[in-house]
Amino acid sequence: MALITWDDKKYSVSVPSIDIQHKKLVDLINKLHNGMMTGTAKSLIKEIITELVDYTKTHFKYEEELLIKCGYDEFEQHKRTHESFIDRIVDFQEQYLKGEILLSIDIINFLRDWLMNHIAGSDKKYSEIMTAKGIK
């Protein structure tokens, strides 16, 4: 069973290109959770973590470019939130790759909670301005 179930009413920002990326992030967290729960080989877990970190960076860059294009008033604060999250997951990735920490339900829950709260809160705030500007 998936850890996170996407719900358009809760999480859609009404910008299809961003919703697709958010769903990919949800899929990666679900994949990581499933890997932990089924005892997937550490080498595969490393690949999932690396993909999650890389894709998160790509998504944030894309989203931030759109926020600049729209002249979003809360851009700087939004970007700082992204940077803080990237710092946390890169730190986790480095520690995991060095064998200093194990993947745990606490880490999975942090990823889930941060992402879903960010989408439902911070990201929903820009939905109206992006749709008004015709961004898809």
- CB contact set of 56 (below 8 Å; sequence gap of 6+): 25, 85, 86, 89
φ, ψ of residue 123 to 5 degrees: the values are -70, -35
| CATH 1.50.10.20 holds for 14-132 | no
- Average pLDDT for the chain: 96
Under a CB-based contact definition with an 8 Å cutoff, are residues 115 and 29 in contact? yes
> What CA–CA distance (Å, rounded) separates 35 from 68?
37
Which pTM was predicted?
A: 0.95
Percent of the chain residues topping a pLDDT of 70:
100
pLDDT digits (tens, 9 = 90+) for 21-63: 999 999 999 999 999 999 999 999 999 999 999 999 999 999 9
> What CA–CA distance (Å, rounded) separates 46 from 93?
8
Residue spans per domain, the chain: 14-132
pLDDT digits (tens, 9 = 90+) for 58-74: 999 999 999 999 999 99
Residue 1's pLDDT is 80
